[in-house]
Amino acid sequence: MSVFLLAVLFWLAAWAFNEWLVRRQPESRTQARLIGIVVPLIFGATLLVLWEGAVRGFEVPFVLLPPPSAIWDRLINSLPILWADFRQTFLKAVLAGYVLGCGSGFLVAILIDRSPFLQRGLLPLGNFVSALPVIGVAPIMVMWFGFDWPSKAAVVIIMTFFPMLVNTVQGLTAASAMERDLMRTYAAGYWQTLFKLRLPAAGPFIFNALKINSTLALIGAIVAEFFGTPIVGMGFRISTEVGRMNIDMVWAEIAVAALAGSVFYGVVALVERAATFWHPSIRGG
- Residues 92 and 9 reside in one and the same domain: no
- Residues 101 and 55 reside in one and the same domain: no
CA–CA–CA angle 186, 191, 192 (5° rounding): 35
- Residues 48 and 128 reside in one and the same domain: no
Q: What residues make up the domain containing 23? A: 2-60
Query: Does any domain span residue 66?
Result: no
Q: pLDDT 10s digit of each residue in the chain, 285 long?
A: 677 788 888 888 888 888 888 887 777 778 788 888 888 888 888 888 888 888 888 888 888 888 999 999 999 998 999 999 999 999 999 999 999 999 999 998 888 888 777 777 777 777 777 677 777 788 888 888 888 888 899 999 988 998 899 899 888 888 777 877 787 887 777 788 888 888 888 888 999 999 999 999 999 999 888 887 788 889 989 988 888 888 999 999 999 999 999 999 999 999 988 887 776 666 555
- Residues 179 and 147 reside in one and the same domain: yes
Query: Does any domain span residue 239?
Result: yes
CA–CA–CA angle 163, 237, 94 (5° rounding): 25
Query: Does any domain span residue 106?
Result: yes
Number of domains comprising the chain: 2
- Residues 97 and 53 reside in one and the same domain: no
Query: Does any domain span residue 250?
Result: yes
- Residues 121 and 32 reside in one and the same domain: no
- Residues 37 and 174 reside in one and the same domain: no
- Residues 42 and 155 reside in one and the same domain: no
Query: Which H, E and C letters describe 190-225, residue by residue?
Result: HHHHHHHHHHHHHHHHHHHHHHHHHHHHHHHHHHHH
Query: Does any domain span residue 79?
Result: yes
- Residues 33 and 172 reside in one and the same domain: no
**CB proximity list for 149: less than 8 A, separation 6 or greater:** 88, 89, 92, 93, 96, 233
Q: What is the pTM of this model?
A: 0.84
Query: Does any domain span residue 243?
Result: yes
